[in-house]
C-alpha cells in the first residue's frame, strides 16, 4: 500500500513531479524548502546557497530542482494562501492547520487532476452501504484517515484577490428584545437599544480565511444529502448530522464524472443558493467547458437555477446516485457558515449570466417589499405598504411574492435593480446576492431566543447596508405585526 501511494505521489504535477523515489522525510524537507523560498522571496544568490545546504540531505536531481524553481517563479512573485492558513479551523476545516503537504493548484489544474484520479481498485456497490462506515467529518479526517482513497487539492487563491479580503459593513440592529436574544449568540454588543444609542464598536474586517478545497475519488455512492460513501469511508457534508441507516436501495447509475453540490438542507431555497450554488463558483468556468461532468443536486426542484447558470437539464442528476466514474466534492458550506469568498464569486457569475437574459438592466430602479404567504407573513402588510407609499411618494414600490415565485431570471432581475429591499426573514432575502454593494436591506427578525441572523452576516460581507429589528411576538413558524413607525424611521435614513 505504501509503495503504491509513493508511486502516485511521484506522478503528481507541479513542483513535486521532480522528486522521484524520495522518502517521506525528504519530501517534507523539499516542501519546507519551497515554502521558505516563496515566503521570503529570496534572490537567486540566496537560493543557490540554500540549495547547497540542503542537497546533501536529499537524494534528488539538482538539475530537476533548478527546473522546478524556474517554473515556480510566478508563484514566488505572486503570493497565495496556503490551506493551513485557513481560519478558524472549525467544521469541515478542522485539522486543516496540520495539513502541511498538499498541492495548491489553479481551477483548470484541479479539474484536470480530478478527472485523472485513479484511486484504489475498489468498485463501489449498493451492498457496501450495509457495512459499517468510517466517518470523515473534515479535511483533516479525509487527509489523515482516508488511507489514500481520496485525492485532496487546495485552490491557489492569490493574496491580492479582493474577494478573499473579509471587509465587512456595520449592520444596524435595533431593539431591547433583539439585543436580549442576540446575547445568546455573542452579538448583543452589536445591537443598539434604539436609534439614538451610540454605535457599537465594529471591526472593518474579520480575520477569516477559507481556502477552497476539492476532494475527489473514483466509484462512489452519493446520497441526496451529499454524503459520499467510498469503500469503508463516508465523507459527511454536515458534521452536526450523522446519516442514519437507509434501507432504500434505489439509485441512479451515472457513468460520467460527477460534481456534487448536494448537502444537508439543500432542498431549501436559501441553502441551495447560498450554500450549494456557491460551491460551484470557484470552478464554474471549467465545469461549463466540460459538458461530460454531471452536477449532482439534492432534488430536481432547482434545475431551473442550474439552467440559469448555463447547465442544461441533461447535465443534472439528483437524489441518490452510484457514480462509476470520478466524484468531485468541493468543501461543504454548513448552515450559518460565511464563505464570503465563494459567495462573492457566485455574485459575479450571477450578474454576468443575468446580462445574457436582459440587455436593459438598470440599478436603483425600485424598492422591493417581500410578501410571504406562509410562515413569517406580515399580517398588516397592506396597511404597511400604503404607509410606505404615502411617506415616500417619489419611490417606485414593487412587491416580491412567493405565490407563485417569479422565474429565476426575473427574481434575480428584480433584486439586481433594487434600490432597497424590505422583508421578513426568509428565503426571498437570498436574492439580495444580486444587489449592488451599499444597497439597504431591512429585515424583520423573529422575537425569539434562537433567531436566525444569517442574512445579517451575509449582507455585512457582501457590502450591503443591513438593518434589522424584531417585531414583538413574531416567531419562525408564526407571523409578524410590523411597527410601521420603526420601519419608516429606518427607511428615512436611506431614502
Q: What is the pLDDT of residues 265-295, one digit of tens each?
A: 878 899 999 999 999 999 999 999 999 999 9
Compute the distance between CA of residue 155 and CA of residue 214 in angstroms, rounded to an integer.
8
Exposure class string for 316-328: b at 16+ Cβ within 10 A, else e? bbbbbbbbbbbbb
CA 393 to chain centroid, in Å, comes to 40
Q: Is the pLDDT of residue 73 over 80?
A: no
Tell me what percent of the residues of the chain surpass a pLDDT of 90: 58
Is domain 169-202+358-491 annotated with CATH 3.40.1360?
Answer: no
H-run or E-run covering 414: helix 408-416
Residue 230 confidence (pLDDT): 94
| CA quadruple 77, 280, 270, 363: dihedral, nearest 10 | 70
Report helix angle 62-71 to 44-54, nearest 10. 140
Compute the distance between CA of residue 425 and CA of residue 407 in angstroms, rounded to an integer.
21
Strands 213-222 and 321-330, bridge-based pairing: antiparallel
CB contact set of 3 (below 8 Å; sequence gap of 6+): none
Compute the distance between CA of residue 154 and CA of residue 213 in angstroms, rounded to an integer.
5
Range 390-408 average pLDDT: 96
Lowest mean pLDDT among 73-82, 204-213, 388-397, 407-416: 73-82
Compute the distance between CA of residue 92 and CA of residue 292 in angstroms, rounded to an integer.
28
CA 458 to chain centroid, in Å, comes to 12
Strands 172-174 and 366-371, bridge-based pairing: unpaired
Compute the distance between CA of residue 128 and CA of residue 166 in angstroms, rounded to an integer.
42
C-alpha cell at 56: 546533501
Domain boundaries, the chain: 2-79, 111-156+209-330, 169-202+358-491
- End-to-end alpha-carbon separation of the chain, Å? 67
Average pLDDT over the chain reads 83
CB–CB of 425/444 below 8 Å? yes
Q: What is the pLDDT of residues 318-376, one digit of tens each?
A: 989 999 999 999 998 876 566 889 999 999 999 999 999 999 999 999 999 999 999 99
Residue 65 confidence (pLDDT): 39
Compute the distance between CA of residue 454 and CA of residue 438 in angstroms, rounded to an integer.
18
Compute the distance between CA of residue 87 and CA of residue 211 in angstroms, rounded to an integer.
9
> What is the number of alpha carbons within 13 Å of residue 273 lying toward its C-beta?
23
Cis omega (within 30 of 0) for bond into 318:
no
Residue 242 confidence (pLDDT): 58
CA 372 to chain centroid, in Å, comes to 27
| DSSP secondary structure string for all residues of 231-298 | TTEEE-S-TT--PPP------EEE-S-EEE---TTTTSHHIIIIIIGGGTGGGHHHHHH-TT-EEEES
* Other beta carbons less than 10 A from residue 284's beta carbon: 20
SS3 437: coil
Compute the distance between CA of residue 268 and CA of residue 302 in angstroms, rounded to an integer.
9
Amino acid at each position: 500500500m505504501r509503495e503504491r501511494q509513493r508511486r502516485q505521489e511521484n506522478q503528481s504535477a507541479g513542483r513535486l513531479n521532480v522528486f522521484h523515489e524520495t522518502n517521506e522525510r525528504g519530501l517534507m524537507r523539499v516542501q519546507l524548502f519551497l515554502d521558505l523560498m516563496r515566503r521570503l522571496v529570496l534572490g537567486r544568490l540566496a537560493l543557490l546557497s540554500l540549495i547547497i545546504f540542503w542537497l546533501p540531505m536529499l537524494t534528488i536531481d539538482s538539475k530537476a530542482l533548478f527546473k522546478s524553481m524556474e517554473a515556480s517563479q510566478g508563484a514566488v512573485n505572486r503570493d497565495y494562501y496556503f490551506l493551513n492558513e485557513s481560519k478558524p479551523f472549525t467544521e469541515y476545516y478542522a485539522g486543516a492547520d496540520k495539513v502541511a503537504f498538499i498541492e495548491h493548484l489553479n481551477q483548470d489544474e484541479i479539474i484536470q487532476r480530478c478527472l485523472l484520479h485513479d484511486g484504489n481498485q475498489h468498485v463501489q456497490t449498493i451492498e457496501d452501504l450495509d457495512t459499517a462506515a468510517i466517518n470523515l467529518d473534515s479535511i483533516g479526517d479525509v487527509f489523515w484517515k482516508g488511507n489514500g482513497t481520496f485525492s485532496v487539492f487546495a485552490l491557489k487563491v492569490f493574496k491580492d484577490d479582493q474577494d478573499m479580503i473579509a471587509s465587512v459593513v456595520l449592520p444596524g440592529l435595533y431593539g431591547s428584545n433583539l439585543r436580549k436574544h442576540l446575547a445568546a449568540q455573542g452579538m448583543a454588543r452589536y445591537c443598539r437599544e434604539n436609534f439614538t444609542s451610540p454605535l457599537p464598536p465594529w471591526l472593518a474586517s474579520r480575520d477569516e480565511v477559507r481556502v477552497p478545497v476539492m476532494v475527489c475519488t473514483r466509484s462512489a455512492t452519493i446520497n441526496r444529502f451529499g454524503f459520499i460513501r467510498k469503500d469503508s469511508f463516508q465523507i459527511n457534508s454536515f458534521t452536526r448530522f450523522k446519516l442514519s441507516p437507509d434501507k432504500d436501495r434505489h439509485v441512479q447509475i451515472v457513468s460520467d464524472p460527477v460534481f456534487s453540490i448536494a448537502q444537508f438542507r439543500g432542498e431549501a431555497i436559501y441553502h441551495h443558493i447560498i450554500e450549494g450554488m456557491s460551491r460551484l463558483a470557484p470552478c464554474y468556468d471549467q465545469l461549463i467547458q466540460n459538458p461530460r461532468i454531471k452536477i449532482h443536486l439534492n432534488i430536481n426542484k432547482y434545475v431551473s437555477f442550474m439552467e440559469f447558470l448555463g447547465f442544461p437539464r441533461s447535465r443534472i442528476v439528483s437524489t441518490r446516485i452510484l457514480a462509476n466514474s470520478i466524484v468531485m466534492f468541493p468543501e461543504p458550506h454548513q448552515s450559518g457558515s460565511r464563505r464570503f469568498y465563494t459567495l462573492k464569486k457566485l455574485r459575479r457569475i450571477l450578474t454576468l449570466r443575468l446580462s445574457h437574459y436582459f440587455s436593459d438592466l438598470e440599478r436603483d430602479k425600485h424598492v422591493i417589499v417581500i410578501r410571504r404567504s406562509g410562515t413569517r407573513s406580515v399580517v398588516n402588510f397592506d396597511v404597511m405598504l400604503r404607509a410606505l407609499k404615502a411617506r415616500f411618494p417619489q419611490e417606485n414600490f414593487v412587491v416580491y411574492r412567493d405565490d407563485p415565485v417569479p422565474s429565476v431570471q426575473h427574481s434575480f432581475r428584480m433584486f439586481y435593480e433594487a434600490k432597497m429591499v424590505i422583508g421578513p426573514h426568509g428565503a426571498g432575502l437570498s436574492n439580495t446576492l444580486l444587489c449592488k454593494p451599499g444597497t439597504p436591506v431591512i429585515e424583520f427578525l423573529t422575537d425569539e431566543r434562537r433567531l436566525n441572523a444569517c442574512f445579517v452576516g451575509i449582507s455585512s460581507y457582501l457590502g450591503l447596508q443591513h438593518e434589522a429589528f424584531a417585531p414583538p411576538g413574531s416567531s419562525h413558524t408564526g407571523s409578524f405585526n410590523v411597527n410601521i413607525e420603526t420601519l419608516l424611521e429606518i427607511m428615512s435614513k436611506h431614502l
